[in-house]
Amino acid sequence: MRMIPLLLALAAAPFASAAAAADPAVEEVQACARRNLPETSARQSIVLEAIDASGTGQRIEAELLWRRGKQDRSQVLVRVERPMDLRGSAFLALERESGYDLFSYLPSLQKVRRLQGSAISGSLFGTDFSYEDFQRLQTAAEGTAVTRLPDADLDGRPAFVIAAVPAADSGSAYQRIVSWIDRETCVLLRADLEAGGGRVAKQLLADPAQVRAVGTRHVPHRVTLEGRDENTRTTLTIEKIELDVPLSDSLFSESALTKGR
């Protein structure tokens, strides 16, 4: 399972290839999720609307690009277009043989920063999504143990339920991630990101009414991530999506982060 565009990935996020392949029950859910994967690439125009505990909001418009690179390894770029004070800020994720390299760029610093250790828990552009959240919603990190739980009904929709436990050495802020995947559309409708003691630190919800067909795939066009600890939330909306479009290798590099388009 490779890294895939954010909202397309909400169907496939909880899986680890090695762990899933060993369990036929998990493989059934994984096969369902694969139906929503793009073939080669995707371009998305997205809007992030972050609301803090006081009710103050921030709107961020960005472009998200994904493509299959060499050896079928994934490359993801998110670049902010508005507001103007954040324009050019970017996040880059590159799949390597040993894992993922994550980079951020802020025009005010004029410097590309490699994200490691506790830095992956930092906020993505001031939203509830951390760099780790963004990565985990697009890929199953190596070493994640995945188990299938009893199927459940989620607001009247039959759903698969699975639990993923990040590897102890992964640096994850979470002890477990429990996910509900719609049996009909194979889209992730809910994910509980649990911290110590089973406490739900964040909860992600996809609006079933905003799940739309894009060709033969189903894509949730609006999801909300709630920060339970600080009473915050961020809604992510797809404004436009194109699948299997030509994307240059040169877009997905550290040097390109400083150059904009």
Condensed to tens digits (0 to 9), the pLDDT of residues 227-246 reads: 998 899 999 999 999 988 99
How far is residue 234's CA from residue 10's CA, in Å, rounded to a whole number?
A: 15
Is residue 2, in this structure, part of any structural domain at all? no
Q: Which two tokens stand for residue 33?
A: 């999720």
User: What's the pLDDT score for residue 33?
Assistant: 81
Strands 99-106 and 111-114: antiparallel
Task: Name the residue range of residue 37's domain.
Answer: 8-257
pLDDT, mean over the chain:
83
Q: Which residues of 136-155 are buried (b: 16+ CB within 10 A; e: fewer)?
A: bbbbbbebbebebeeeeebe
Task: Return the minimum-mean-pLDDT range out of 32-41, 90-99, 111-120, 134-143.
Answer: 134-143
CATH of the domain at 144: 2.50.20.10
Residue 22: predicted pLDDT: 58
Buried b (16+ CB within 10 A) or exposed e, 230-240: eebbbbbbbee
| Pairwise pLDDT comparison (100 vs 106), residue with the higher score | 106
Q: What is d(CA 236, CA 215) in angstroms, rounded to the nearest whole number?
A: 21
Please report whether residue 114 resides in a domain: yes
pLDDT of 84 reads 94
Residue 3 lies in a domain: no
Position 17 scores a pLDDT of: 41
**What is the DSSP secondary structure assignment for residue 53, as one 8-state letter?**
T
- Residues 6 or more apart whose CB falls under 8 angstroms from that of 106 comprise 89, 113
Task: Decide which of 99 and 186 is more confident.
Answer: 186
Per-residue pLDDT band for 132 (boundaries 50, 70, 90) equals: confident
Report if residue 49 sits inside a domain: yes
pLDDT band at 7 (very low <50, low <70, confident <90, very high): low
User: Considering its fold, how many domains does the chain have in total?
Assistant: 1
Distance of alpha carbon 225 from alpha carbon 187, whole angstroms: 16
- Position 24 scores a pLDDT of 87
Virtual torsion, Cα 120, 169, 1, 139, nearest 10 deg: -20
pLDDT (mean) for 32-51: 88
User: Around Cβ 199, how many Cβ atoms within 10 Å?
Assistant: 12
pLDDT of amino acid 29: 86
Can you give the pLDDT at residue 15? 42
Total residue count of the chain as it appears in this document: 261
**Higher-confidence position of 202 and 12:** 202
What pLDDT, on a 0 to 100 scale, did the predictor assign at position 200? 95
Per-residue burial over 11-29, b if 16 or more Cβ lie within 10 Å, else e, is bbbbbbeebbeebeebeeb
